[in-house]
Each structure stands twice: as C-alpha cells, then as structure tokens.
A and B are shown apart, each in its own frame.
Chain A
Amino acid sequence: MSKIEIIIKREYLSRVTKRTFILTTIGLPLVMIGFSALMGYLSATTGTKLNIAVVDESGIFQNNLWDSSSTKSVAYFNKGEYSTLQKTYLDKKFDMLVHINAFKNNLPDTNAIQVFSESSISGVASNYLTDRLNTVYQNKLMLDAGMNRKQIDSLNSVTISFTPITIDKNTGNADMNSAIGYFSGFLIYIVMFIYGMMVMRGVMEEKTNRIAEVIISSVKPFELMMGKVLGIALVGLTQFVLWIAFIGIIFMVSSTFFPGLMPHDTMPIGGVPGMEAMPQEMMKKVEVTNKIQEFMGMPWLLIGFSFLFYFIGGYLLYASLFAAVGSLVNEDAQDAQGLTFPITMPIIAGFLIAVQAAQDPNSSLAVFGSIFPLTSPIVMMSRIAYHPPAWQIALSMALLIATFIGTIWLSAKIYRTGILMYGKKVTWKEALKWVWK
C-alpha cells in the first residue's frame, strides 16, 4: 500500500466507523420519510372545521352555495334573522357569517357580499368562497340565458391543458425539471459545505494536535493533504450510496406492503375513454400517475453522471481550499471564520444563481453561472434536467477540471507552509505570498 493509500484508509475508516456517521446515514432518510409521511397524514386528516352561517337576500345562491362536508358545516338563515345573527353568530359557534344582499340590476358590486369573522379568514376558505360564488352565479346566468342543466354541467367539466412538444425528446415537464434542479443544486451546495468543512476541521485538528509535523517527517505534505481530501470524498460517496440504497429499500418495501401508495401499479394510465366524465378525485390520481411517469422518464443517466462529476469536481475544488484554510488556523477557531469567508462567498452566490436557474435555465446569468467554475457545480446541476446545450456542459466540465487542478496546486503550496506555522495569525494575503515563493 502506498503512503497516500494508508492515509486515505485511516481518514475514511476513522469517519465511517464513528457513531455520528452511522446515525446520520440511517437517521436522515428515516427522518425525511417520517416527516413527509406525517405531513401527508396531517393534511389528509385534519384541517380546521368551519361553521358557516349564510344569509342570502339575493335569492341567487339559495341553498347551493355550499354543502356541508367533513371540513365545514353550513347553515342557511332567512333574511329576517340577519340583524340578530350579526351580533350573535360568534356566540352560536359560527366562525363566519356570509351576508349576500340583493343584487342591484342583477349585478353584484363589492358591497353586495360581506363576510364577517372574528379575525381574517384563511386563504383556502377565501379562495373556495370566491370560486363557489362565481360558479353558482355563472350557472344562474347560463340558466337565465336558456341553457339546460346538462349543458351547463358539461361546460363546467371542460378543462384544457396542452402537451409540450420539444425537439429534444428527453426534455421533460418544466415543473419536474425545476424540482430536480432545485434538489440537485441544493444537494451539491450542502455537500460542498459539509464535506469541505469536514476537511478543514480535520486539517485544523492535525495542526493543533501537533501531529502534522510528526507525519510530515514520514510523508510529503501533499500526500497528507490529498489523503485527507480523498478519504473524506469517499466518506461522502459512501453516505450517498447508502442513502440511495436505503431509500430504494424503503420504496420497495412500502410498494410491496402498501400497493395503494403506488398509484402507477393500480391506475390506468393516460388516454382512458370517458375520462372527461371522471370525478375530480379520480382526475387528481391520474395527475399523480402522470407525475410518476414523468419522474421515471427523466434523463437519470445524465443527471446521475453529472451529479457524480460535479460532486467530485466541486468537492475537490473547494475541499482543497478548505484544507488550505485549515492549515492557516491556529488554536483560535474564530480565525477560521474570517479565513473561510472568501471561499464560502462563491458557494453561496452559486446557490443563489441556482435557485433562479432552476426556473429560468437559459438566462444569461444561469448560463454564466453554470460555466464559471466556482459556481458551476451548483448552477449546472440546477440546469441539467433541462438539457443545456452540449457545448456548455463540455466547457463547464473542462473549466472545472482545470480549476480544481489549480486550487489543489495552490492549496498544497499554502498547506505545506501553514501546517508548520505555530502561534501566528496568517492572512490570505500572506498565505498567497507563499505560493509564489
């Protein structure tokens, strides 16, 4: 085994056998799955129960403004009860009172309908109310115009959507693309911070422990630095592989035991005859099915390869810089904050660009950010699902490789001097002088 392999092995094993590594590797997916399950459960079962009182003086909405359901109970009152209700609706356990005046000239003005409540009503309730008022009133107008019930119902069930057709067959749905963009951009961002900081702390530990000089008398400083950088890269990859495997297992187990959770197993997909007649609930399920189909149809090979490439490239670029910072820090851990600032800046800038790029992948800022090597690992990942032109990917990758070779070279020069400097606070300016010495 070469010396660098011995170092990689120690750096790797000393971290993956730590209790915290095992806990985060197993714990994080569990927490994430548990959290989303809880969210789903809560939103499906609860919701505030609304008691609504309605006084309709216009006679248009009569008793069909709302039906009672699990989330609301609706009571309709006569015109005469309005003045007392206005004072007592809260005492009678109503959350809101909807008062509809008679429409002047058959046209509702803004004062025609008033909603009373103790505090402002929720967005959901407000949207629903607006929607129902409009639908019922439109139906009335259509009836007045001489249409029959059946015609009106068929009109109401019409929803139009479009099928996007692009030259590149792999380009998927925009929502899906931007979701993948956010997610992978965010992941790379987190990776660079977590593992970059891990490298920095490792180097600081060796320096403040005073073991660095002992080791450097046996191996070259470059070997010690790269051993640590590569060892921690393997820790990161291991964690990812375990996460993916773990999530895969959970996915498989849950689809075996709870097939209902996996709509694509049970639902017919696409172009079903008579779909326009499907109840709304059914429509939603089909939508979910389409989502899953789209999800499966994403260019995963490209995304997976790019993720691996930008993970490794971005990590090498920043981890080596973090190693250089670690070698400059003395006992005072606060020094580290000031020194890491110039490194964390471009990472954060990259993330901000990535958030925009996930929505608007072809803006000039997004294109620049995905080629500029200090931000490309994050920004290109947020664009990758949109299939950016090949020349941009190639240029971005080539620049990233050239840059991480450069930062490793630069960091090695700083590192070999910094790691042996005790007791003196070093600035970036001084450290950069060592490079050209």
Chain B
Amino acid sequence: MLQVKNVVKKYSHQLAVDDLSFTIETGKIFGLLGPNGAGKSSLLRMVTGITQPDSGQILFAGEAFNANKHNPLIGYMPEERGLYKKMKVKEQAEYLGLLKGLPKEKVINGIAYWFNKLDMHTWANKKVEDLSKGMSQKLQFVTTVLHQPKLLILDEPFSGLDPVNAEVIKKEIYALAESGTTIIFSTHRMEQVEEICDRIVLMNKGKNILEGNVDVIKQEKKQNQFILQIASGELVSNQLFSIISADKNKYILQLNNSATPNEVLQYCIQQQLQILSFTEQLPTLNDIFIDLVADNATTQFQNQ
C-alpha cells in the first residue's frame, strides 16, 4: 500500500527524517512509534503530501505519490488538530467532507451513517465550541473517515480521550481495518501499539531503528525471564536462575543460559513449593525501545 524509500527531510536546523525506509501492507494496522521529536509527524506530513521529501521516494499503491490523485484516498488526523469553534457540528463535517472532493450527496449520507453509529445525532446542531473534548474528538474522527479513505493516518488518536470514548474509537479502527482500510497509527505511547498494531516501525532521531511484527520482535528480544507465583515458601537464586525481583510470593526469574523452564519447574517441585502460575515475561516495546537507545545518552524518552 505504502512504500517509503530512503526519505530525507531537513528543516533549517535539524534532520527531521534521516534516510527512512519501510513498507506497509494493505489492510494492516501499522504502528509508527517513537518519542516526541523522533520525526513521526514530519514523516506523516510527507505521506499526506503536505510537505515534500528533500530526497527519497514515497510510493502509494506502487505509484509515485501524487497529491492530487492520492490525497482523496487518505484520511489524516494530525496530532495538532482542531475545528472551527463557531461552526455547527454538522456543517463542519460537511465542509471538511466537501473539501476532500466528495459529492454533496455522499457527504450527507456519510454524516448520517457516522452520526448514527457514534450517537452524535443529538448534538449535530451544536456549535463546536460547546462540545466536550470527547465529543469534538469523535467529530474529528468522523471527519477523517467520512470519505472512506484507503489509507487512514491517525497521529496520537487517543490523546485527551477518556477510556470510554477511546474504546469506542478503537472499536471503529478495528472495524475499518477488518474492511480493508490500511491504518497508520502514530504514537509515543508504546503500550497502545502493542495492543492494536500488527507491525511497527520504531523511529528515533529520524531513523528507523527497528521494524517488524510486534510478536516476532518480542520473541526476538525476549531475555529468558519468567514470572513465578507460589502460594507459600521461600525461593533463593541458584545455578538455574537468579531472582530479579520478589514481591510477596511473586518472583521474576532470570534463567541462566543453559537452563530450561522444565528444569526450573522441576526444581520448584523438588523444593515442595506450591506453584500458582509460571509464565514467560516478554519484554514490552517500552523496554525494547529503552534498550535500543540506551547507549544514546542524549535521547530523552518520555513515556507519558
């Protein structure tokens, strides 16, 4: 669906995107990850045709990106987003729909469909300035998907949303992916990506530092750690494993290179410990990211 090839974007003082390449397949939810200032928004502005790369290429469905042709196929919800405060909800949705080049009739049908689906009918004639933050985020989402884009780009879609509304939007994102929409989900919130995305690109300082399937990455990056919960008793480090942390009867164990889970369990049974659960601890994307950029002292990662 989308190919980014060796894209470079420079602003006056800094290199925002530095020789970045990756590929997104059709119908997948793709996570674009990275701390603030990693170059995510700069990249998305190029993908949506707002700015042009200094060098490199962006291919949309195999063709060189052409704003006039491909823009109507893209829905973009930028991180810095807003609405006309004095406009009514419905007028606002209509206006943005028409600007996407949609015929009036389709705009009206689309609004009816989405307003119904997201329960927005009752406030369709309110002014935007009278909406709560959650309501205006919903409206923002509707205006982004109104024209049935083939590629939906969501930059921090859940920022400022309460859990209930976030869940509603999440459900719609899944449904759109199900029906074949390719989705780019950009965020600095790693835990959201683990939950939603199939594949990710991890960006730092404009570079692609890790790319792949979320599960595969986790398997690759796992560090042979297990969580053991026991009913009672005491556990001490030995030649099989060392204890990283112990919280009441919950232990996190780092297995030694040659040790297997079976050996650990065997040892525990021999010690006559009552085992409640034993699971492998996979690293979170957050851990992986910090690990990858740890040697880079200047990286300031904010996980808020």
Q: What is the interface of chain A, defined by CB distance below 8 A to chain B?
A: 1, 3, 6-7, 10, 14, 205, 209-211, 213-220, 420, 422, 433
Q: Identify the 10 closest CB pairs spanning chains A and B, nearest first.
A: A210-B82, A209-B82, A217-B76, A213-B78, A218-B99, A210-B80, A211-B82, A217-B48, A6-B98, A218-B100
Q: Which residue of A lies closest to B101 (CB)?
A: A3
**A263, chain B: closest CB distance, angstroms:** 49
Q: Does B95 contact A (CB under 8 A)?
A: yes
How far is B67's CA from A220's CA once the two chains are assembled, in angstroms?
Answer: 9
Could you jot down 23 A-B contacts, CB within 8 Å?
A1-B98, A3-B99, A6-B95, A6-B98, A7-B99, A209-B83, A209-B84, A210-B78, A210-B80, A211-B81, A211-B82, A213-B80, A214-B76, A214-B77, A214-B81, A214-B96, A214-B143, A215-B96, A217-B74, A217-B78, A218-B101, A219-B99, A433-B12
Tell me whether A217 and B81 are in contact (CB under 8 A): no
> Which residues of B53-81 have CB atoms within 8 Å of chain A's CB atoms?
67, 71, 74, 76-78, 80-81
Q: Does B50 lie at the interface of the complex (its beta carbon under 8 Å from any beta carbon of A)?
A: yes
Contacts of A205 in B (CB 8 A): 84
Q: Which residue of B lies closest to A220 (CB)?
A: B67
Asked if B85 is an interface residue, CB under 8 A from chain A, the answer is yes
- A13 closest partner in B (C-beta): B91
Complexed CA–CA distance, A211 and B81 (Å): 6
Q: Is there an interface contact between B84 and A218, defined as CB atoms closer than 8 Å?
A: no
B50: which A residues are within 8 A, CB to CB?
A: 213, 216-217, 420
| 0/1 interface trace, chain B 1-25, chain A, CB 8 Å (1 if under) | 0000000000010000000000000
Structural contact, B96 and A14, CB atoms closer than 8 A = no
Query: Which residues on B sit within 8 Å (CB–CB) of A420?
Result: 45, 50-51
The answer to whether residues A6 and B99 also contact, given A213-B50, A217-B76, A218-B71 and a CB cut-off of 8 A, is: yes
From B12, B83, B96, B140, contact of A218 by CB (8 A): B96
* Complex Cα spacing A433 to B86, Å: 35
Nearest Cβ in chain B — how far from A204, in angstroms? 13
Is B87 an interface residue when CB atoms closer than 8 A count as contact? yes
Identify which of A210, A214, A219, A433 gathers the most chain B CB atoms within 10 Å of its CB. A214
- Residues on A with C-beta less than 8 A from B100 are 218
A216 to B82, CA, bound (A): 12
Closest B residue by C-beta to A419 = B50
Bound CA span A215–B98, Å:
11
Q: How far is the CB of B75 from chain A (nearest CB, A)?
A: 9
In the complex the two chains form, what is the Cα distance from A7 to B99 in whole Å? 8
Of A14, A210, A213, which one neighbours B87 at CB under 8 angstroms?
Answer: A14
262-288 of chain B: CB within 8 A of chain A = none
Within 8 A of A (CB), among B128-163: 140, 143
Bound-state Cα–Cα, A397 to B224, Å: 80
Neighbouring B residues of A3 by C-beta, 8 Å:
99, 101
List, in ascending order, chain B residues with CB within 8 A of A422's CB: 80
Report, as a range, how many residues of chain B touch the other chain.
20 to 34
Chain A residues with CB below 8 A from B74, complex form: 217
Residue numbers in A under 8 Å from B12 (CB-CB): 433
Contacts of B87 in A (CB 8 A): 14
Q: Cβ of B76: which chain A residues have Cβ within 8 Å of it? A: 214, 217
Closest CB-CB distance, B51 to chain A, in whole Å?
A: 8
B45 neighbours in A (Cβ, 8 Å): 420
Residue in A205, A213, A216, A433 whose Cβ sees the most chain B Cβ within 10 Å: A213
Collect the chain A residues with CB atoms within 8 Å of residue B82's CB.
209-211, 214
Asked whether, in the complex, the Cβ of A14 is within 8 Å of the Cβ of B99, the reply is no
Known A213-B50, A217-B50; judge A14-B83 contact (CB<8 A).
Answer: no
Residues of A within 8 A of B95 (CB): 6, 10
Residues of chain A with a CB closer than 8 A to B84's CB: 14, 205, 209, 211
Binary A-proximity of B92-124 (CB < 8 A = 1, otherwise 0): 000110111100000000000000000000000
Binary interface encoding of chain B residues 186-216 relative to chain A, with 1 for a CB under 8 A from any of its CBs, else 0: 0000000000000000000000000000000
| B2 to A: closest C-beta gap in Å | 15
Closest B residue by C-beta to A217: B76
What CA separation (Å) do A218 and B80 show in the bound complex? 15
- Give the complex CA separation of A14 and B51 in angstroms: 29
Q: How far is the CA of A214 from the CA of B45 in the complex (A)?
A: 11
Considering the complex, give the chain B residue whose CB is closest to the CB of A224: B99
Q: Which chain A residues lie closer than 8 Å to B143 at the CB level?
A: 214
Q: Which residue of B lies closest to A208 (CB)?
A: B82
Q: Give A215 to B77 CA distance when docked, in angstroms.
A: 10
Contact between B78 and A214 (Cβ–Cβ < 8 Å)?
yes
A-B contact sample (14 more), CB < 8 A, given A214-B143, A217-B76, A433-B12: A10-B95, A209-B82, A209-B84, A210-B81, A210-B82, A213-B78, A214-B77, A214-B81, A215-B99, A217-B71, A218-B96, A218-B99, A218-B100, A420-B50
Q: How far is the CA of A217 from the CA of B85 in the complex (A)?
A: 19
B85 pairs with A14, CB closer than 8 A: no
**Contact residues in B for A216 (Cβ distance below 8 Å):** 50
Distance A162 CA – B171 CA, assembled complex (angstroms) = 89
Q: A211 CA to B99 CA in the complex, in Å?
A: 13
Q: Please, which residues of chain A bring their CB within 8 A of the CB of B77? A: 214
- A417 to nearest B CB, angstroms? 9
Contact A209-B85, Cβ < 8 Å, known A217-B48, A217-B50, A422-B80:
yes
How many angstroms between the C-alpha atoms of A333 and B85 in the bound complex?
A: 18
Residue from the list A6, A14, A210 in contact with B86, Cβ < 8 A? A14
CB distance from B68 to the nearest CB of A (A): 9
Report chain A residues within 8 Å CB of B51.
420
The complex places the Cα of A216 from the Cα of B80 at a distance, in Å, of: 12
